[in-house]
Chains A and B, each alone.
Chain A
C-alpha cells in the first residue's frame, strides 16, 4: 500500500517549502520529499554552528505544519501518479494527484588539470560540507569560479575560521563593476552585497582571472591562477572551492515525460506562465525551470503550490514579482557568463569522467554522449553522468545524457520492489 497525496512536492528548498505551504493553505493533503535528512535545500542548508537564517526557519516551520515530511528519501523511479522512493530503511511508494517538481540545481564543475585531487571541491560544495562540520578553521582556501555565490561562500567559510586567500572571479572587472552599479535598482540585493563586502574586508576579489590547474601529491597543495595580465601565479593552499554556476536537476522531470527546454547548454523544465509542465498534473518551480535564484524560487513555489490546487487567481497575484525576480537573475547570468578559455583547460590526460576515470583524450571522435559512453564508459558510473555530462555539455561537446530509472544507484532490495509491481516503471 502506498500513501496518497493531493499534492506531492519534490525538493525541500525555498521553492518546495513555499509550494508545500501554499498547497496546504488550500486544504490539500500534502507530502514533501527530499533526499537530504533535513529540509532547507542547498541555500538554506542547516549550519551546525550558526543555525539557519530566520527566513529559512520560518519557511520550514510553515511548510512542515501542514504537510507530511518525507526526508532522507531519494526518488529513484516514477510512474504516472506514483513515485518510488528509497530511504535508509527501505523502499516506499507514494501516489499523487498533483506533483510539484522543485528539485533545484547542482553546481557546475569544469575539468582542469588537478581537479580530481582531494581538497578541490565545488564552491557551494565546500559551503555545504563546512555547514555540516567539515574542518576548515585555519585552512588556506582559494574560492574561484564565477557568480555572486563565490562571495557568499567566501564569507561563510571565513565565519568558520577559514583563511580566504583570494576570490578568483572569471568575469572581467568592468562587467562586475557595471553589475554592482546596477544593484542600485535592487535594494535587497544591494544590501546583501554590501554585507558580504564588509564580511570579506581584506580579501582580494580578483576579477578576470581563473584557476587553470591544481597541484599536489594525493591532496591539494597549490593552485595556479591565470591573472588578468596573462601571467601565471602559484598560490599554496589546502582547499580550492571552485564553481561555475548551477545546472537544473531535470532528471526526474525527464523521467516523468515533462518537456524540457534545451535551448541553452543545460536543459531546464519547460512550463507555461502558470508553471504547469507539458504533463498536466505536474508543475515545476524554482531552479529546475532555469537558474533564477532563491527569491524567484520562493515566488514560483507559491505559484505552483496554489496552481496545483486550482487557486489560479491567488497564484496570479505573485506573477509580477516572480517575473521581476527572473529578470534580475537573467542580468546576473549575463554578467557572469563564462570566458571561453575555461572550456579549454582540460589536457588530454585530464580525467573528465571521475566515476570511470575516462581521460579527455579518450573522448575524441565521438558524436554524442551515448557513443562516447558505449566505447569509453564515460558517464556510466555512480553519478550517472551528472558531473561529466554537465561539464561536457558546457564545453559544447555533447548534449546532456537522457535520464533513466533508477535515477540514483539503489540497493538490490529496492530494485526488487521496482519490478515486483505489475505495472512497469516508465523510463525514457
Chain B
C-alpha cells in the first residue's frame, strides 16, 4: 500500500467502499426483484382466491335468485340471476388463466346447473311443480359440484399463496440476513482498511515530525524516514535534502567558527607579539638608561672596596694607635663598609646581568643560522642543564626519557638561541619536577622529564614534558610575558620564557604552546619551520 500515493490509496478505499455498496445494492435489488416476483405471484394467487371467492358469492347469488325466481316468478329475480351468472363467468374468465382445466370443469358443472335450474323455473312457471322440484334437485347436485370445485380451487390457491408468501418471506429474510452480514463485514473491513490507511499515513508522519523536531533541536544526524512513493515520501525526501543542507551549513559554520577561532588566536598572538615587542623596546630603553648608572655604582663600589683596603692599610698605624676598643670599633666599621660595598658590587653585578639579559632580549638573537642536528643540540643542552642543576644542588636528580626521531634531517636555525630556549625549558622542567619531589616529602615520586622530536615534513616538532607541579590555567596567558615568574625572588628573572617565545616565534617563525594539568604534567611544544622563507616571513610579520 505504501507504494501508492495517499490520493490513490484514498481513491482505492473509496472505490472499495462504493464497490461493496453497489454490489450490496445490486444484490438487494435483485433479491427485492425476486421477492417482488414472489409477492406478485402471491398477490396474483390472492387475487385468484378473491376471484374464486367472488365466483362462489356470485354463484350463491345466482342460486338464490334462481330459487327466488322459482317461487316469485319475478323477472327481476331472473335478471338478477343472469347478472350473477355473468359476474361468475367474469370471475371464472379471470381464474381460467390459473388452471384452465379446473375452471372448465366448473363451467361444465355450472352449465349443467343452469340448464336444470332454467328448466325447473320454466316448469314452476307453467305450474308443473313436481317436475320443477325434480329438475331443481338435479340442479342442486350440480350446484354442490360447483361449490366443491370452487372450494377446492380456493383451498389450492390458498395453499399456493401461502407457499409463495412464505417463500418470498424466506427469501426476503435470507436477503436481509445476508445484507446485514455484508454490511457488517463491509463496516469491519472498512474500519480495518481505514485503520491501515491511516497507519500508512500517521506512522510516517510521526517519524517525519520526530525528524523535524530533531532537526529543530539541531540534531542533523536524526534518522529521516525512508522516502516512499507517496506524498509523505516526497516530504521525507525534501526533509532529507533540508537535513543535508543543514549539515552542510553546520559544517561551514564549524569551519567558519574554527577560522574565527584561529583568527582570534592569531589576533591574540599578534597582540601578544606586539605587546612583547613594546615590552622589549621598553626593556631595552630602561636597560640602556640603567646600565650607565649601574656601571658607576658597580665601578665605584669596587673602587670603594679598594679604597677601603688602601685606607685600612694606610690608617693601620693610626688605628693601631687607638685604644683596643676604638681600634676594634674602627675595624668593625671598616669591615662593615667593606661588606656593604661587596654587597653593592655583588647586587650591582646581578643587576648588570639582568640588564644584559634585557638588552639581549631586546636586541634579539645575534647568531648566524646554520644547519644543525637538532637531536645533538638537544643532547648537548640537556647535558649542560643537568650538570648545571647538579652543580647548584647535589641532591637533584631526574629521569630522562628521550623519544628523539633519529631520522630527523638537519634544520637551519641559530644554535645558540635555540640552545638558550632549550636550557630555559629544561631548567623550568627540572625546577617543577624537583619542587614536586620536595613537596611530596619523601613519598615515592620520581621526577621524570621526557624530550621528544618529530619530523613533520615542513616543520620539526620538539616536545618537553615533565611530571612536575603543573601550571594553573589562569597563569598560562601570562607565561610568556617578561618578568612573569612563579619562582621565589632571586631565583628567576621572569625573562626566560619571554626570551624563548621571542626566539621561537620572532627569530625562527615557529610556534610555542603549552599544555598542563596541575599536579600532573606540563608539556611545551615547539614547532620550527624548515624553510628559511617561512621563518623570515614569520619574523617580519
A and B held together in a complex: no
Residues of chain A whose beta carbon lies under 8 Å from any beta carbon of chain B? none
B interface residue numbers (CB < 8 A to A): none
